[in-house]
Amino acid sequence: MENKLKIEILNITANFEFVLLGFSDIPNIQWILFGVFLVIYLTILMCNSIIILIIRIDSALQTPMYFFLSNFSFLEICYVTVTIPRMLMDLLTKKGNISFFACAAQMCFVLMFGGSECLLLTVMAYDRYVAICNPLHYTLVMNHKVCVQLVTVSWISTVPVVIGQTCQIFSLPFCGSNTISHFFCDIPPVLKLACGDTFVNEIAIYVVAVVFIMVPFLLTVFSYGKIISSILKLSSAKGRAKGFSTCSSHLIVVVLFYGTATITYLRPKPNQSEGVGKLISLFYTVLIPTLNPIIYTLRNKDIMVALRKLLTKLLM
């Protein structure tokens, strides 16, 4: 009898569907949004791929900083690919149906890549800290083996936590409405559909957010506090300007990414405004990944020089 009940529950779960409302509340501009997001997605793919390519082929960029940047660019490609293609399909078909397991998988990968970005940004801040505050030991501390280990930890450490978090959320009973007022399966809108008490889940979300958002953010702030202190001690104005220009790109990305992630995942309560939540999500899933390659290329002389060299080779 128990086995039959379990099989029935599994069958119901397998056939259960969510409906992503996305931007259905503004039907008149669906095609415009499709065009805009398609251009944005292709721009993200192209710009990050170019960054990875020039770092790979230019010998002047074979340093830890650019090794981390190439990994960050690849991570950005993975991150946007989890959400934007699905959003484009929904805008094109005007249907937001997503299966129970597809929704869980999407949430899992968004959290996994997002958590890895938080850790990798912290690693990049540490790299700048060692380069500016301890330059004589930089090559010894940030050797290739250490760099590979730091990147590996950034990619892998989020996996078991995120899988556990996703399983915990999707093991909740869902009853009543199956419509998610969002353009992807994010934690706050999915939790709103859960029946019963979600207090334990919310506490777990806070704990994970503190570990993978607040702790890396505080470590990054500490690193930049030390960096700024060291730069201000430099006697020459030229040296100070060079020091700040080296770190400014990364600092802008850190503020944008951590700011929006903190607002979303440290406030996962069901009473969070749907419109505000959707707007904030657009920032960290679409806008910031679009700005990142622009920030890193336009504000980085080495990348711009390598890009000009590549263009010159291609045009000759």
The CA–CA distances, whole Å, from 144 to 58, 62, 149 equal 17, 10, 9
- Do 202 and 268 meet the contact criterion of CB atoms below 8 Å apart? yes
* 138 C-beta neighbours (distance < 10 Å), count: 16
Q: How confident is the model at residue 266 (pLDDT cuts 50, 70, 90)?
A: low
Among candidates 33, 124, 120, 39, which has minimal Cα distance to 76? 120
Which whole number is the average pLDDT over 8-15? 48
**CA distance readout (Å), 126 to 134, 204, 294, 310:** 11, 28, 22, 30
- Tell whether the torsion through CA atoms of 55, 59, 60 and 62 is positive or negative: positive
Give the Cα separation of 187 and 71 in Å (integer): 26
Sheet strands side by side (includes 179-180): 97-99, 17-20, 179-180
The whole-number average pLDDT for the span 33-46 is 95
3-state secondary structure labels for all residues of 121-142: HHHHHHHHHHHHHCHHHHHHHC
Give the CATH H-level superfamily of domain 15-315. Rhodopsin 7-helix transmembrane proteins (1.20.1070.10)
Burial 147-182 (b: 16+ CB within 10 A, else e): beebbeebbeebeebbeebbeebbebeeeeeeebbb
What is the pLDDT, as a whole number, of residue 34?
94
Output the pLDDT for position 273. Answer: 66
Cβ neighbours of residue 287 under 8 Å, at least 6 residues apart? Answer: none
134-169 tens-digit pLDDT: 888 999 999 999 999 999 999 999 999 999 999 999
- Is this prediction's pTM over 0.85? yes
pLDDT at 6: 45
Amino acid 9: pLDDT: 44
Burial class (CB in 10 A: 0-12, 13-18, 19+), 262: middle
> How do residues 169-189 score in pLDDT, each as one tens digit?
999 888 778 899 899 999 888
What pLDDT, in 10s, does the model give residues 110-130?
999 999 999 999 999 999 899
Taking 90 as the threshold, does the pLDDT of residue 83 lie above it? yes
Each domain of the chain, given as residue ranges in start order, spans 15-315
Contact between 128 and 65 (Cβ < 8 Å) = yes
Q: Which carries the bigger pLDDT value, residue 262 or residue 76?
A: 76
Give the mean pLDDT of the chain.
85
Residue 197: band (very low, low, confident or very high) from pLDDT cuts 50, 70, 90 = confident
* Maximum C-alpha span of the chain: 80
Q: Note whether 158 and 165 are within 8 A (CB).
A: no
The DSSP letter of residue 24 is T
d(CA 281, CA 263): 10
Question: Looking at residue 259, what is its pLDDT?
Answer: 78
